[in-house]
Amino acid sequence: MTAETPDPALLVVDDNEDNRYTLVQRLRRLGYTNVVTAIDGRGALERLGTQDFDVVLLDVMMPELNGYEVLERIRADDRLRHVPVIMISAVDQVESVVRCIELGAEDYLPKPFNPVILRARVATCLEKKRLRDQELRYLKDVARVTSAAAALEDTKFEVGMLADVERREDELGQLARVFVRMAGEVAAREAKLRQEIHTLRIEIDETQKARQVSEITETEYFQTLQQKARALRERRSG
């Protein structure tokens, strides 16, 4: 972890106070300072409901709500299903490992904790989480570009809609920058066209008015009125 890398949030769930303390201390010695604990399954779900975590270390054997049940609920929640879960238990049995993996656990960690294995498995889960989050952000940005294209077609595109995507340094960011530039050119052409149409309408209106005036002044009735008006002015001046 560096100054540029945010400190990952880890949740340790174990009903045994000594086990919780031991695991937290070992994680902190590995450099993970943002470690939160829960004493049972319900407390874990409450924590997960109010805070985002990068990895959950979940004890299998707990009263009321055991680790299997908590894992099932995590995987059934759309917001939590992508959070890596490492199952921990003193019961080092193949059946337990298989069940955890089948329920969606990323890994399995037996007690007592081996610091080398602990480091490797937490680091692996964090890297998987980072790559998964990166993929999700990419898909969301792709969706934003698609939405921006639809907005442009409906003349609803606004400057700034893709500001975050434009800052990407990959091909998608380049595509977003090209798209925004093209959208600006389209908007400029549309503005120019609207101005030309407005000017043309004014010219058409003026032409129509001139023609209408000409049609009126050229009639015999209008010329007779002009003659009467001139005669009236002459009598008043005489």
Kind and range of the H or E element at 33? none
Tell me: do 117 and 200 sit in the same domain: no
pLDDT at 3: 39
Residue 98 lies in a domain: yes
How far is Cα 129 from Cα 82, in angstroms, rounded to an integer? 8
Residue 37 lies in a domain: yes
Q: Find the mean pLDDT for residues 43-64.
A: 93
Q: Find the mean pLDDT for residues 22-35.
A: 94
Instruction: State how many domains the chain has.
Output: 2
Tell me: do 25 and 130 sit in the same domain: yes
**In CATH, what number is assigned to the domain containing residue 80?**
3.40.50.2300
Residue 115 lies in a domain: yes
Report residue 209's pLDDT band, with 50, 70 and 90 as the boundaries.
low
Q: How far is CA 234 from CA 90, 222, 229, in A?
A: 124, 18, 9
Tell me: do 174 and 227 sit in the same domain: yes
Residue 147 lies in a domain: no
Nearest Cα residue to 34 out of 137, 126, 100: 126
Residue 146 lies in a domain: no
Residue 169 lies in a domain: yes
Tell me: do 124 and 43 sit in the same domain: yes
pTM: predicted TM-score of the whole model, two decimal places: 0.65
